Structure 1
Amino acid sequence: MILSTLFSAIANILHLIITVYTWVIIAAALISWVRPDPNSPVVQLLYRLTEPVYSFIRRYIKTNFSGIDFTPLIVLLALQFLDQFLIRLLFGFAASL
């Protein structure tokens, strides 16, 4: 019972983190289209939150085609895969305990 609740809580927390980070990626992508002020604290925060993941993806996959950077799309797909697969796996494991 306690272990089941623990795994369920971990799954809920991971789902929340993935959801928040998904919105951060979307906000950063939308802001990048309008040439934001690089000195803005919001822009700097979004850059600090997204650029480490973007640079990791860019290191292994060519993501720039015809001047369009598809890194945010790749990250969003990976996050959705993790959310659908890992979270459901944890919830299923918690239900079986």
Structure 2
Amino acid sequence: MMQLGEHGEQRQSDLIKVFGPDSSTVTKTLQRMEQAGFVSRGRAELDRRIVLVAEGPRRPAGSAARYLRGGVPADDAEPAPDRDRPQPHTLRARR
């Protein structure tokens, strides 16, 4: 979450490079975080092969890591204001 907060939306492949060689673990973690509302994922408009990841509709307020460890229900996360909520259709390809 800090990576997305500091650098904004990123390609999923770039996040995999940052967090380790096991792409399936990173992908599964992002899927769980997306289901809980911590991140949004979508395809790039210019190249549909690229998956972009952005902060989701819920601000983690420290709870994303606890949620992933099973300590905090996703409903306890603080919702983000609508104006800050990235939408998958607005994600764009990096150049």
Task: Using structure 1 for the length normalisation, give the TM-score.
Answer: 0.28
Structure having the higher Rg: 1
* Richer in helix (by share): 1
* Richer in strand (by share): 2
Larger RCO of the pair (alpha carbons < 8 Å, separation 6+): 1
Task: Using structure 2 for the length normalisation, give the TM-score.
Answer: 0.28
